[in-house]
Chain A
Amino acid sequence: MPKKAGFIFCLVVTVALMAMILLPLVVVVLGSCINASLLGLSTDLWSGSRHDIFDFSAFGYIFENYSDWALFSLELAIACVAICLLIAVPAGYALARHPFPGSGLVEELVLMPLSLPGITLSMGLLATYGELRGPLLVLAGHLLYTIPFMLKVVTATLRSFDVGRLETAARSLGASFPQRLFLVVLPNLRHAMMVGSLLVFAVSWGEFNVSFLLNRGRPQTFPAVLYDTYTNQSIQISSAATTIFLAIVIPAVIAIQWFGGRDSVEVEQGA
């Protein structure tokens, strides 16, 4: 009996916690599509019947006015993923496979931007590369925040299955360096690269501070749409912007969980 009571207690706590986290999201999503006049709120968009429950016109407004912002954000996120794959994967391989005196410090230093407030990082970048202010500098800022994620995932994975051992085996079987890279190292890193790419994408898509401070004029990144609409527009429009934001980031987060789980299972069994 006490066991059952314990279970019920845990269930209640879990449900309460989930509700606390999820309810605001539900409110936002509902707020974006429920007829505001039914809730007694004013709106400048609505052209339908006052008695319809759903009203999607806020989404139309966002697409009309901010689609170039969304596109800029997507381009940035994709560029970050591509550049991280090109830079952080080889760097992670080098650090994990051929450590040198001080390589631990290098790894720590790469992680440092994560602990800095966006404003500090932005001021630093502006002071140093002020003349580049604009999309290029925004990209640089995003890379400082995203490279650590890719690097960490790659080095942790390489260390977990001792890639050196597999490379030695491949050498003994006659594989040249490119063959070892493409037939052994990269195939064993595919999950890590997938998880890393999704993380990088999600971080870049959601980054606000650095993007806001380093950009010049329009378009801004998509999180700036949230800022813009929450400060200047009705709750329905800002809710619609938030819903679009979540529609992109939540699938990425779910995919990270899914791939991450699969990855750890394989590594565990492979050890």
Chain B
Amino acid sequence: MNILIEAHNLRKSYGFVTAVHDFSHSFAPGRITAILGPSGSGKSTTLAMIAGLIDPDGGSISLNGTDITRLPAERRDFGLVFQNYSLFPHLSVVDNVEFGLRVRGIDKAERRRRAMAALEQVHIPNLADRRILQISGGEQQRVALARALAFSPRVLLLDEPLSALDAKLREGLRAELGRLLNELSLTAIYVTHDQVEAMSLGHELIIMRGGRIEQSGTPLEVYTRPATPFVATFLGSANLLDGEYLQIDGQTRLRLPFVEIPAPEGATVGPCQVMVRPEDIAVVSDGNGHLSGEVISSVFLGNQARLTVTAGGNTLIVDTSNEAIPSPGTMVSLQFREAKLCIMPKGV
């Protein structure tokens, strides 16, 4: 089922506040696109416009080339899963799952069969006859998912579906959700503020900030090559350093506070910002590194340790193995993986 959704210049304002500015994107058919952003970034408003629950002020949405911008939500055949589940308290589990089939006039036996199949998919057929109030939060979210899938939606939209659950449950359900969505190869849009969820579930990532798309791409691309300092720091930990491109003997070189290296192709002379991830800085034996610095703090995290090091006027976060953790006050030599340095324009 390769359904292509395209959004063109979607726009929505509330009074003087613009929630979404010109959102344009072609969502990968049959894959999961995660929209990630802090609260207030416009991600849920964007999803609600795609779902048809909010009318955009401008722009359009198309489904396989057909304009559906003004099609009401109830006629889009999009499955929706909400953060707060929104199950019907007056109906049993199986009646909730049957709801989408019931309003489509499907006969009793057939809809019972399909509802049970959907409950099997989320591994809770045993709860079919329970009341909604008698099942746990995790089970309620499974019911909500089964309800959204039972009527064979064209697209599945998920709005922070796991954020009301506790950490342990969330992790388990996340893995299961990923498996199920990949199995179904549904076109899915998954809104979240949790970067781990977005990176582990999304085949594609859209990072939003202040109502705009900050960057989109595969999780690996966005993580390793963030376009802006915001993306770099929002998606995991990042060290941001000031750098400068210099013209030396007819060669463009990149100068950092601690090292000077040949600049990549197409660099123009002037200041820039350089991002390096904590895991791309190694603690090496004395004198072999790019620079040396003093350990300010070291935090043991189980599988690794996180150091804070001051060096050359900068404070750096460094992840190191848990084998020999330097204690605060010791001097360490640090080496950067040059290939992992990510250069971005200054002042974005």
Q: Which residues of A are in contact with B by a Cβ distance under 8 Å? A: 161, 165-166, 168-176, 179, 183-184, 187-188, 190, 266, 269-270
Contacts and interface: CB of A to CB of B under 8 A. Distances in A.
Nearest to B99: A173
Given A161-B89, A165-B82, A183-B103, 14 more contacts: A169-B80, A169-B86, A170-B88, A171-B74, A172-B53, A172-B80, A173-B80, A173-B99, A174-B77, A174-B104, A176-B103, A187-B91, A188-B89, A188-B90
Contacts of B51: 172
Interface in B59-100: 72-75, 77-80, 82, 84, 86-91, 99-100
Given A174-B74, A174-B100, A168 B90 contact: no
B74 A176 contact: yes
15 contacts: A166-B86, A169-B86, A171-B53, A171-B73, A171-B74, A172-B74, A173-B151, A174-B74, A174-B104, A175-B99, A175-B103, A176-B103, A183-B99, A184-B88, A187-B90
A190 B51 CA distance: 30
A188 B53 CA distance: 22
A162 to B, nearest CB: 9
A174 B74 CA distance: 4
B77 to A, nearest CB: 7
B100 A173 contact: yes
B73 to A, nearest CB: 5
A130 to B, nearest CB: 47
B27 to A, nearest CB: 18
B79 A172 contact: yes
B133 A173 contact: no
A182 to B, nearest CB: 10
Contacts of B147: 173
B170 interface: no
A151 B148 CA distance: 34
Nearest to B103: A175
B132 interface: yes
B102 interface: yes
Nearest to B48: A168
B86 A183 contact: no
A188 to B, nearest CB: 5
A131 B287 CA distance: 107
Nearest to B82: A169
A134 to B, nearest CB: 42
Nearest to A265: B133
A165 B89 CA distance: 12
A101 B214 CA distance: 37
A174 B148 contact: no
Closest 8 CB pairs of A and B: A172-B80, A270-B89, A169-B86, A173-B100, A269-B133, A175-B103, A187-B90, A171-B73
B133 A270 contact: yes
Contacts of B73: 168, 171-172
Given A175-B74, A270-B133, A170 B89 contact: no
Contacts of A168: 53, 73, 82, 86
A165 B90 contact: no
B144 to A, nearest CB: 8
B88 A169 contact: yes
